[in-house]
Structure 1
Amino acid sequence: MSIVTFIAGLMALVAGAEALVRGASRLSLSWGISPLVVGLTVVAFGTSAPEMAVSVGAAAQGATEVAVGNVVGSNVFNVLFILGLSALIAPLVVHVQVIRQEVPLMLAAGLVLVAMALDGVISRPEAALLLALMLGYTIFLIVQARRAPAQEQSEFAADAPASQWDRHWSVQILLVLVGLAALVLGSRWLVQAATAFASALGVSDVVIGLTIVAAGTSLPEVAASVTASLRGQRDIAVGNVVGSNLFNILGCLGLAGVVADGGLPIPEAVRNFDLWVMMATLLACLPIFMTDRQIARWEGGVLLAYYGAYTAYLVLAAQHHEALAAYSTVMMSFVIPLTIVTLAVMVIRRPSSSRSH
């Protein structure tokens, strides 16, 4: 049954992603809204539905550590795994709006979360503030998109697919809704199957929670971004990740904190390690995106390698493995400094590269 559930979940994800990306991209053309904004809103919010369901449900049941860990782990997964995989499929061109507006907002949201978490809890008033910021950001994006120049909107219309069966806005909305439903259902089936596989292999519940649950609830983002990359809708692929991270911090944690009795306690391990890993991945987006405004294939490979390294650390730490100390020393002494130097060189080289073009 676990194998059947896994296959069914995978099929639902693929079909759901195809329907969501097609419906969202056509809807953006019908309403004169750029695919980037649709990726930042409709696609990003929709594919974050599993994170919302898991975090709010866990908070309501008192399992607040699951709610917090799911959001932080999903944000790390979104940047390192999803952007990495999407860039390996096809180099991702990053819209200038993402660099100038969305990435700074994502970093600001991360800093707000860190500031709220320093005292060990996100109170209900703080959670309500996160929700208010999410609402304000969404309204701002929609208003901004509607004010786009007519010439810019006509450029989006030129990218319309040749087929006309989904020309009417009602069919496009139906595609989005069907796609979202399939993504949520497929994600749930895949998490259930993966958890059963892990249990059968004797992997601890801690490792399952740190890896499979966080990655499993991000599977809709994987499917949507990869499908968008394959279809050439690269604004949606990048916007989906950035928008999902914003939604996870402001929307998921905001609603979970309002629902939770007494707010959301932040575990000490998350405050001391995972939150800072999340901030490091968010900060890394800026120099990577700024370099020729694209994510090259080799950069995608580096992001994937870092997700593998992060996952290996979580597994070793959860099992208190004897190799943990040596692994941590290698990461802190060699890998992380080398990455910082590489990012610095990328930023320094960018102005000369821009002048050469």
Structure 2
Amino acid sequence: MSLLPFIGAIIVGLILLIWSADRFIEGSVGIASNAGMPPLLIGLTIVAFGTSAPEMLVSATAALTDAPAMAVGNAIGSNIANIGLVLGITVLVSPVPLRRAVLKREFPILLAVTGAALLFLMDLSLTPIDGLMFLVMLVVALTLLAKGSESGESPEFVEELEEMPELDTRRAVMWFAVGLVLLIASSRMLVWGATELALTLGVSELVIGLTIIAIGTSLPELAASVASALKGHHDVALGNIVGSNLFNLLAVLAMPALLNPLTIDPEALYRDYAVMAGLTVLLAIFAYSMQKKGKLARFEGGILLVIYIGYSIVLYQAARGG
């Protein structure tokens, strides 16, 4: 059977998913701004959730179409790609500055969440209780970020508001509606294509989620980070990665738990989550050890990228059955 329809669905689905997510965020921000919502609240809620909207919608769709393993792979794989691929390449292009707010507030929260999520996954299951606990932890994390922002150190989600176009209410509502409809439709198209591709190739849905979908949803971040690095405007790159990974763990991973409870493949925990946690800890070690120099150097970026390439080779061999 030809793979072209499935590959086409994946490519078109990814393109529409990313485009519609941007329109959804712009429309949501426009509606909230015109309604008088404070910028801090908009940044920590609408922009933060909107940035992870592709991963959340894909995971929700995968869970509802009986492909929850793909949803888990998407959440974990996106975090691995963000650190190893996106940040690794960005740092190789140009050393990334270390912001005090990220080291003081956002990194400790991500490390704590990574450890806490591991405890919930140790029984190799995701239940509605787990999903609710993830959402509770997300609220706590956002509250801590908001309190830190009161001291004048705004997280990157808030600073992204400055780049948003100003929209009147009518146009904002239009983009919100168009973005939401296309987000749902494109995520369905992407999951269908990925699921059928997995069945045709005999590859597990977990591996498809860890690779094709995770990398696909990380490509816009990679392009934006590299472009910013080339222009010298990459001071928020590390904070964006930390914030995105925080939402992937708590909001994206909550989707399959709430919508379609499942038993987790042991490999997802002992191989994939272990790599994700290891990269997170390694990045923290790099960041704090390079604090005096004030930036992540190309050497650290090279190590992160090499680890990601090695992990991808392991997944490729696993997909081939050895």
> Paired residue for 2:109, among 105, 128, 133?
105
Answer yes or no: is the 8 Å Cα contact 2:82–2:241 preserved in 1. yes
Is 2:125 the partner of 1:124?
A: no
Deviation for aligned residue 1:74: 1.8
d(CA) in 1 for partners of 2:65, 2:18: 31
Deviation for aligned residue 1:114: 1.3
d(CA) in 2 for partners of 1:58, 1:193: 11
Mean Cα deviation higher: 167-176 or 90-99: 167-176
d(CA) in 2 for partners of 1:184, 1:305: 35
Given the superposition, is the C-alpha separation of residues 295 and 17 from structure 1 closer, same or farther in structure 2, using an over 3 Å criterion?
A: farther
Deviations 1:159-198 (A, max 9, x none): x78xxx9456868998899889888888887887888899
TM-score, normalization by structure 2: 0.72
Matches within 5 A, 1:104-183: 104-145=108-149, 147-149=150-152, 166=165
Match for residue 50 of structure 1?
54
* Residue type of the alignment partner of 1:293: G
Deviations 1:191-247 (A, max 9, x none): 878888999xx85423x7515654434534431353145245424432222112111
Deviation for aligned residue 1:300: 2.0
- The alignment yields a C-alpha RMSD, in angstroms, of 4.4
Match for residue 224 of structure 2?
227
Matches within 5 A, 1:262-281: 263-281=261-279
Deviation for aligned residue 1:131: 0.7
SS of corresponding position for 1:205: coil
* Residue type of the alignment partner of 2:254: G
Gaps of 5+ in 1: 322-357
Deviations 1:137-171 (A, max 9, x none): 224434543x244x999xx99xx78xxx9456868
Match for residue 249 of structure 1?
249
SS of corresponding position for 1:80: helix
* Residue type of the alignment partner of 2:145: L
Given the superposition, is the C-alpha separation of residues 212 and 14 from structure 1 closer, same or farther in structure 2, using an over 3 Å criterion?
A: same
Number of residue pairs matched? 304
d(CA) in 2 for partners of 1:239, 1:121: 30
Answer yes or no: is the 8 Å Cα contact 1:51–1:218 preserved in 2. no
Match for residue 315 of structure 2?
314
Given the superposition, is the C-alpha separation of residues 58 and 5 from structure 1 closer, same or farther in structure 2, using an over 3 Å criterion?
A: closer
Match for residue 286 of structure 2?
288
TM-score, normalization by structure 1: 0.66
Gaps of 5+ in 2: none
SS of corresponding position for 1:234: coil
d(CA) in 1 for partners of 2:310, 2:175: 37
d(CA) in 2 for partners of 1:184, 1:172: 18
Answer yes or no: is the 8 Å Cα contact 1:226–1:237 preserved in 2. no
Deviation for aligned residue 1:101: 1.6
Match for residue 86 of structure 2?
82
Matches within 5 A, 1:12-27: none
